[in-house]
Amino acid sequence: MKYLFKNLIGCWICCLISFFANAQNPIIQTIYTADPAPMVHNDTMFLYTTHDEDNATWFAMKEWRVYSSADMVNWTDHPVPLSLESFSWADKDAWAAQCIYRNGKFYFYICAHHKELNKMAVGVAVSDKPTGPFKDALGKPLVSANWGDIDPTVFIDDDGQAYLYWGNPNLYYVKLNDDMISYNQEVGVVQVPLTKEGFHVREKDTDKRPSAYEEGPWLYKRNSLYYLLYPAGGVPEHLAYSTSTSPTGPWTYQDTIMHVIEKGGAFTNHPALIDFKGKTYLFYHNGALPGGGGFNRSVAVEEIQFNPDGTIPLITPTKAGVVNSISNLNPYVRQQAETIAWTEGVETAADAKTGVYVTDIQDGDYIKVRAVDFAKGARNFQASVASGGKGGRIELRLGSLSGQLIGTCQVKNTGGATKWKTVKSKVNGAQGVHDLFLVFRGEEDVLFHFDWWKFTGK
Ligand code: FUB
């Protein structure tokens, strides 16, 4: 997605670049992402998303994506974990999904269009790793009973009972069996009453739906209280929530969490609430990347603090996003080039041998990595790069795009665009914790590919 700034000139470029260089939202800038579904596993936040195609005019998505972060500001791109091709029964519309861990396996609940039933259905895929690859666990949908079987959300209660909620315009749940790929047939598919006490009244399309509930449910528990978050009100959607003392309701409507995003929004929104390392985060999506909108969305995140009475305050979407990194990044071990806090201009690609790498690098593009701790100073910088052309160079700057230059790494022709070589350069003056800007320079249209980097301490 070459969407950024390439055609802008002069001062206008500088203003925009410095403005965006301090932003943290949307958190993925290399592609359009939507329908965030975070999962914490082994001290890492995994973020599953859908993938809006460039220039899309419908939710014509083909795959799901996964990113990870240990610090909530630097996000690592992973190979595509699951796509429509994995489901023999599905032909289009890879919509909202959520992944959860149980007994050594990861279960990925998705929704997609069923080619024979000609409607959306909920499926489940399984993997031994959070980053996949995932495989269809059933060879058929897990649920496909009703119109509007979309947006599954999965939750395991403290007593081990798992619940799957989903649906638009209705809201349903099943009690999942311990195998996570079947559900309690005696309880069956339960339709949740969308009463005004539970889900508020609707102001738009009042003849079409019984309450403000729209789609995209997310179930969360805190201090024995269950919170059901959802996009509400009809399009454009806002985010709202209801609570209950039981995971199956009855639900009591509480309030709006996020108003319709008027500027830089999309006509949908999609909430996810999760705790990580003592903090709570609200993920959602907007249309804030250049070229963004209703079918070109982007995932964003805000740290939230509950009110003393356990209610969720109104959250304002910000460009700043998560300001403080939870931990510092270690520059003395290999860091993937696709570990990014913010970037302009580059894209990522993947192959079986190399995994994900950074591509489409042009003069002036850059990658920002937050909170890099040069505790041991820095003597050398190494990078794995590949170039079939003249190559280019990587300027290493601290603090900002025009910040202190601590080194410049030359990249020459390596013998081909997939011929990886480790290049090395001297570094001077790096000490303490800094945001690192890897600024790419060169003359040709495509400079080189970039797989990983690391520093050597003094
Ligand atoms: O991303 C496709 C659909 O748009 C999702 O399934 C809905 O929740 C809405 O975000």
Which pLDDT tens digit goes with each residue over 257-305? 999 999 999 999 999 999 999 999 999 999 999 999 999 999 999 999 9
- Average pLDDT of the chain is 95
pLDDT surpassing 50 at residue 15: no
- Calculate how far, in angstroms, residue 380's C-alpha sits from the geometric centre of ligand 1: 46
35 is catalytic: yes
> Residues 6 or more apart from 130 whose CB is under 8 A from it?
39, 41, 44, 46, 66, 68, 99, 101, 106
Mutate to test the pocket of ligand 1, among 58, 153, 215 (most ligand atoms within 8 A of CB): 215
Residue 343 scores a pLDDT above 90: yes
Say which DSSP state 60 is in: -
The per-residue pLDDT for 146 is 87
- The answer to pTM > 0.85 is yes
- Ligand 1 atom nearest the C-alpha of 231 is 8
Residue 1 confidence (pLDDT) above 80: no
Average pLDDT over residues 229-253: 97
Distance CA 343, CA 364 (A): 11
Distance CA 267, CA 142 (A): 29
- From the CA of 52, give the closest atom in ligand 1: 1
Q: Would you say residue 4 has pLDDT above 80? A: no
Chain CA centroid to CA 132, Å: 15
pLDDT of residue 205: 78
Q: What is the pLDDT of residue 207?
A: 77
Residue 35 Cβ inside 6 Å of ligand 1? The answer reads yes
Give the atom of ligand 1 at the shortest distance from the alpha carbon of 216: 8
Residue 16 has pLDDT above 90, yes or no: no
pLDDT at 20: 55
Beta strand segments in 62-188, E: 63-69, 75-77, 82-83, 90-102, 105-114, 119-127, 135-136, 153-156, 162-166, 172-176
What backbone phi and psi angles, to 5 degrees, belong to 180? 65, 0
Across 17-26, 79-88, 201-210, which has the greatest mean pLDDT? Answer: 79-88
Q: Would the CB of 97 count as within 6 Å of ligand 1?
A: no
* Average pLDDT, integer, range 44-69: 97
Contact 307, 254 (CB under 8 A): no
Asked whether the predicted pLDDT for residue 10 surpasses 80, the reply is: no
How much of the chain, in percent, has pLDDT values that exceed 70? Answer: 95
Q: What is the mean pLDDT of residues 192-197?
A: 97
- For atom 8 of ligand 1, which residue has the closest CA? 216
- Does residue 101 carry a pLDDT above 50? yes
Query: What is the predicted pLDDT for the residue at 108?
Result: 98
Architecture of the 30-304 domain? 5 Propeller (2.115)
Whether residue 358 contacts residue 449, with contact meaning beta carbons closer than 8 Å, is answered with yes
pLDDT at 12: 39
Question: How do residues 403-423 score in pLDDT, each as one tens digit?
Answer: 999 999 999 999 999 999 999
Please give the average per-residue pLDDT across 11-36, as a whole number. 74
What is the band of 13 on the pLDDT scale with cuts at 50, 70, 90? very low
Q: Is the CB of 284 under 6 A from ligand 1?
A: no
Domain with CATH 2.115.10.20 in the chain: 30-304
126 lines ligand 1 (CB under 6 A): no
When pLDDT is averaged across residues 21-43 and rounded to a whole number, the result is: 94
> According to the model, what pLDDT value does residue 303 have?
98
Q: Where in the chain is the domain with CATH 2.60.120.260?
A: 335-456
Q: 270 CB under 6 A from ligand 1?
A: yes
* Structure token digits, residue 180: 């996570």
Nearest-atom number in ligand 1 for the CA of 59 is 2
Residue 120 near residue 111 (C-beta atoms within 8 A): yes
Cα 74 to Cα 130, 362, 371: the distances in Å are 18, 22, 9
426 pLDDT higher than 60? yes
Superfamily of domain 335-456 in CATH is Galactose-binding domain-like (2.60.120.260)
Can you tell me the distance from the alpha carbon of 156 to that of 100, in angstroms, rounded to the nearest whole number? 9
